[in-house]
Amino acid sequence: MKTQPDRRRFIKNSSVAGCAILISGKLMAFSFPQEEVPYPKKLNYCGYTCPKDCKFLEASLKNDSSLKKEAYEEWKIKDRYGVDFAADKIFCFGCKTADKPEGVVLTNCTVRSCAIENKFDSCIQCKTLKSCEKDLWTRFPEFHKSVIKMQESYLEGKA
């Protein structure tokens, strides 16, 4: 005897599976392909690689005030740094761009300043990365874990 599918159960199970896939996809967004050995000079100081479609970078390159305002709000600049919006002061050209001015995010990034101070191309070169409690790592613990895994790949590839 063939049973009729229970529509409610199907929708419930599908939504649970969909959420699990979505959540795992978000967590995997910070993971590094294990077959590749990361190269610190190609990474940002924190290990992240800025996406080509970064709204903050686009706004800065175009000097677009409305796009800068959107990025300012999305990045919660006021809450994080206590800086009011001013189109001429809110910008980001990337953390390793030496020929561009540093915006409020870069000047306040403790991970970046630590890496520069210690002459690292990226945090994956730091021996205390696992125990580091800088603001970026406490706000994004999953990202911190992925950078630690990246460091492990880097150290294995270096040996």
21 inside domain: no
Nearest to 85 by CA among 95, 74, 100: 74
Is 77 inside a domain boundary?
yes
If you count them, how many residues does the chain have? Answer: 159
Burial of 109 from C-beta contacts in 10 A (0-12 / 13-18 / 19+) = buried
Per-residue confidence in pLDDT tens, the chain, 159 aa: 444 545 444 344 433 333 333 333 343 344 445 557 899 999 999 999 888 899 999 999 999 999 999 999 999 999 999 999 999 989 999 999 889 999 999 999 999 999 999 999 999 999 999 999 999 999 999 999 999 999 999 999 875
In which residue are the tokens 């600049």 written?
A: 77
**Domain-located, residue 14:** no
Residue 32 maps to a domain: no
Q: Which domain holds residue 43?
A: 37-158
The pLDDT score that the predictor gives to residue 12 is 41
Asked, for residue 54, whether it belongs to a domain, the answer is: yes
**How many folded domains does the chain comprise?**
1
Instruction: Classify residue 30: in a domain, yes or no.
Output: no
pLDDT tens, 117-136?
999 999 999 999 999 999 99
Residue 97 lies in a domain: yes
Q: Is residue 15 part of a domain?
A: no
